[in-house]
Amino acid sequence: MFNFEKLDDGPAKNISTEVTADMVKISLKSDPSKYCIMPQKFVDQDLERIKNMEIFEDDIWIVTYPKCGTTWTQEMIWMIHNNLDYETSSKVQLADRFPFLEWSGIIKNFTIDTFEDCKTRPRPRYIKSHLPLFLLPDQLWTVKPKIIYVARNPKDTVVSWFHHHTHLHCYNGTKEDLIEAFLTDLMLYSPMNDHVLDFWKIRDQPNILFLFFEDMKRNLDQEVKRAVKFLDKNFSQEEIDKLCKHLSFESVKDNKMINKNEEIRMIKESIGVKFDPNAFSFVRKGQVGGYKKELTAKENEMLDEYSKWPTFEEFGFEYRF
Confirm whether 9 is domain-assigned. no
263 domain residue, yes or no: yes
Averaged pLDDT for residues 127-145: 98
- The pLDDT, as a whole number, for residue 157 is 97
How far, in Å, CA of 149 to CA of 200, rounded? Answer: 9
Q: What is the pLDDT of residue 95?
A: 92
Q: What is the pLDDT of residue 111?
A: 82
- Predicted pLDDT at 271: 58
| pLDDT tens for each residue of 67-101 | 999 999 999 999 999 999 999 999 999 999 999 99
Q: Is residue 16 part of a domain?
A: no
Question: Tens of pLDDT along 158-216?
Answer: 999 999 898 888 899 999 999 999 999 999 999 999 999 999 999 999 999 999 999 99
Q: What is the pLDDT of residue 250?
A: 79
Domain holding 169, by residue range, is: 53-315
CATH number for 242? 3.40.50.300
Question: For residue 286, what pLDDT band results from cuts at 50, 70 and 90?
Answer: low
Is 80 exceeded by the pLDDT of residue 273? no
pLDDT at 274: 67
The pTM assigned to this predicted structure is: 0.92
Q: For residue 261, what pLDDT is reported?
A: 63
Quick one: pLDDT at residue 110?
A: 82
Residue 275 forms part of a structural domain: yes
User: Residue 43 domain-assigned?
Assistant: no
Give me the helices (H) in 188-236, please: 192-200, 213-218, 220-230
Q: What percent of the chain has pLDDT over 70?
A: 91
When divided into structural domains, the chain yields a total of: 1
Q: What is the per-residue burial (b if ≥16 Cβ within 10 Å, else e) of 89-126?
A: beeebbbebbbbbbbbbbbbebeebbbebbeebeeebb
Domain assignment of residue 131, yes or no: yes
3-state helix, strand, coil in the chain (%, to 5): 45, 10, 40
Q: What is the mean pLDDT of the chain?
A: 92
pLDDT for 122: 96
pLDDT at 283: 54
Hey, which bits of the chain come out as E strands? 2-6, 23-28, 35-39, 60-64, 126-129, 146-151, 208-212
pLDDT at 45 over 60: yes
Residue 120: pLDDT over 70 = yes
Mean pLDDT value across residues 13-38? 93
Residues marked active site are found at 130
The answer on pLDDT for 59 being more than 80 is yes
14 found inside a domain: no
Tell whether 15 is covered by a domain: no
Q: Which tens digit of pLDDT belongs to each residue from 214-243?
A: 999 999 999 999 999 999 999 999 999 999
